[in-house]
């Protein structure tokens, strides 16, 4: 079964090809998807989250390292094609994890992002710090059933911005174009 993307590409989500991956599809889709499966006190897009992760990596002295910054911006890009699955469920779906990793590899190849294992750890850490700040600001219960780092005051201003999807998409594209 095939699906259409925002840019009108028809592709098979279980057999993606390099030619199917478009930044316009990624930025558009992520700007319309809400974090935490929508269980937030206001709309907060995956695109804005990705901008936050890239900014956090920027703060952490990776300003001149294109690949790690672009890797941070694109770290959830697979969700544009697969959507996000809540982590407790994702842990029970090994096939989803295999397909998601295929997308990660394909997206990095498409945009010529080369990450070392250490880079991937840095991106994962920035993602977790971002998560902790988002939970504090956006999740009504204000906690998760997992161990995450303390919120980072340097990025809380990004979370507090109320970005409409159109602005999140525009900012995502702007940062992508600056890095790519």
Q: Does residue 50 fall inside a structural domain?
A: yes
Q: What is the pLDDT of residues 20-69, one digit of tens each?
A: 999 999 999 999 999 988 989 899 999 999 999 998 888 766 556 899 99
Task: Give the pLDDT of residue 44.
Answer: 93
CB of 110 closer than 8 Å to CB of 104: no
Residue 91 lies in a domain: yes
96, 102, 106, 108: CA torsion to nearest 10: 90
Range with lowest mean pLDDT among 105-119, 134-148, 159-173? 134-148
Tell me the residue range of the domain where 59 lies.
Answer: 3-9+19-179
Q: What pLDDT is stored for residue 78 in this prediction?
A: 96
Q: Are 34 and 84 in contact (CB under 8 A)?
A: no
Residue 161 within a domain: yes
DSSP 11-42: E-TTS--GGG--HHHHHHHHHHPBGGGG-SSS
Per-residue pLDDT tens for 74-129?
Answer: 999 999 999 888 878 888 999 898 999 999 999 999 999 999 999 999 999 899 88
Whether 14 is covered by a domain: the verdict is no
pLDDT of residue 154: 60
pLDDT per residue as tens digits for the range 63-77: 568 999 999 999 999
Distances (CA, A) of 95 to 13, 63, 132: 13, 35, 27
Which one-letter DSSP state was computed for residue 8? -
pTM score, whole prediction? 0.89
* Residue 120 counted as domain residue: yes
Which CATH number belongs to the domain containing residue 40 in this structure?
1.10.3210.10
Give me the number of domains the chain comprises: 1
Confidence at residue 107, expressed as pLDDT on a 0 to 100 scale? 97
């Amino acid at each position: 079964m095939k699906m259409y993307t925002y840019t009108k590409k028809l592709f098979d989500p279980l057999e993606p090809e390099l030619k199917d991956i478009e930044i316009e599809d990624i930025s558009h889709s992520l700007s319309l998807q809400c974090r935490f499966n929508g269980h937030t006190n206001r709309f907060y897009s995956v695109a804005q989250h990705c901008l936050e992760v890239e900014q956090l990596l920027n703060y952490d002295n990776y300003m001149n390292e294109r690949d790690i910054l672009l890797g941070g911006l694109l770290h959830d890009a697979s969700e544009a094609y697969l959507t996000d699955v809540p982590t407790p469920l994702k842990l029970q779906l090994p096939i989803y994890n295999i397909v998601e990793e295929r997308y990660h590899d394909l997206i990095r190849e498409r945009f010529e992002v080369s990450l070392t294992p250490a880079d991937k750890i840095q991106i994962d850490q920035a993602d977790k710090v971002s998560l902790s700040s988002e939970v504090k600001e956006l999740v009504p219960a204000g906690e998760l059933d997992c161990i995450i780092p303390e919120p980072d005051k340097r990025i809380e201003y990004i979370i507090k911005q109320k970005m409409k999807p159109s602005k999140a998409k525009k900012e995502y594209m702007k940062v992508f174009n600056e890095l790519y």
